[in-house]
Amino acid sequence: MPERRFLIASSFARLIRKERGVVDRIVEGYFPARSDRDHFVSIEPGHSYLVLAASGTDGAKDEERTEVPRSQAEALLAVCTGKVGFECTRVRLATDQDAVLERYIAPGVLDLVRIDFPDARAAAAFSSPAWFGDDVSEDPAYERAALAGLGIPDRDEAAVSNPALEQLLDLLENGVGACQFGSLSFDRAAESSRNEAPPEGGRRSASPENARLDSVAAGLAEALDLGGPDQPNEPDSNRIVPLERAEARGRR
């Protein structure tokens, strides 16, 4: 599926994340690159995959995903040549297209907006909103395999202007940027949670969605060695182990 990628100012990314929250936290480890394909392991909330991404005829990469046990994914992660960790925030654009804000945490900090398209014609016809930064769709340095192997490229901070900020605020305040989860939008679910009367005793029980995000947040923090709590040694299929611990396990 063709995609386009754009840089975004860190201040805009922070505003979007504050308003829309984080829906996914992912760690990917890449094996030595080949000119025609990428081969990597992906550890996601509740799932682990071995992925083969081959270049298609229209320049897009066709992915073949095979789910693997968490223990196997951790062992594979230990022998990868490069790793990335990122958080995803979904936002619907004014054109009714879904975009994903990807906040890279490792190997460095980077904010990108990614949009997937059904075909190359739709990708070419897309006109980016004012709050997007430079189009880096054709720059191989911003592909995940390159970020994992070579690190974050040197770049200037994306420009911030008042018209761009006003356009983004309109998108967020008017509710256009809310992605749908079933019959209840992310915004409406959050508002419902805020307005819900607390149970007796003054403590409000966490919603399943918030509980899931909290659990995944702790997992990624540990996976990227960002100061998350230590975990017990027994296997846990929903836990992402620290990268250095996975590497040590692979050496044993």
CA-to-CA dists, residue 198 to 62, 76, 186, 193, 194, angstroms: 47, 45, 20, 10, 9
Q: Residue 7: enclosing H or E segment and its boundaries?
A: strand 3-7
Give one DSSP letter per residue of 169-187, joined into a string.
Answer: HHHHHTTTTPPEETTEEHH
* Averaged pLDDT, 1-5: 90
Report the pLDDT value the prediction gives residue 190, as an integer from 0 to 100: 39
| Weakest mean pLDDT among 29-38, 91-100, 106-115 | 29-38
Q: Which residues contact 40 (CB under 8 A, 6 or more apart)?
A: 28, 29, 30, 31, 50, 51, 53, 80, 144, 145, 148
Dihedral sign for Cα atoms in the order 137, 143, 147, 149: negative
Pair type for strands 180-181 and 37-44: unpaired
**Apex CA 92: angle with CA 91 and CA 93, to 5°?**
115
Helix (H, G, I), strand (E, B) or coil at 44: strand
HSE (side-chain half, CA atoms, 13 Å) at 208: 0
Alpha helices in 7-139 (DSSP H): 10-20, 70-78, 120-125
The sheet with strand 3-7 has its strands ordered as 3-7, 110-116, 98-106, 82-92, 24-30, 37-44, 47-55, 61-67
Q: How confident is the model at residue 1 (pLDDT cuts 50, 70, 90)?
A: confident
Query: Which position has the higher pLDDT, 54 or 244?
Result: 54
How many domains is the chain partitioned into structurally?
1
Report the pLDDT value the prediction gives residue 153, as an integer from 0 to 100: 94
Name which of 14, 19, 13, 10 is nearest 173 in CA terms: 19
**Residue 173, domain CATH:** 2.40.320.10
pLDDT of 144 > 50? The answer is: yes
Question: What secondary structure letter does DSSP report for 237?
Answer: T
| Model pLDDT for residues 166-222, shown as the tens digit of each residue | 999 999 988 655 544 333 333 433 344 344 444 444 444 444 444 444 444 444 445
Q: Which residues contact 122 (CB under 8 A, 6 or more apart)?
A: 2
Note the pTM of the prediction, 2 decimals: 0.69
Which structural domain, as residue segments, surrounds residue 8? 3-251
Report the pLDDT value the prediction gives residue 246, as an integer from 0 to 100: 45
From CA 9, how far away is CA 11, in angstroms rounded? 5
CA-to-CA dists, residue 87 to 23, 66, 149, 208, 232, angstroms: 8, 22, 19, 19, 24
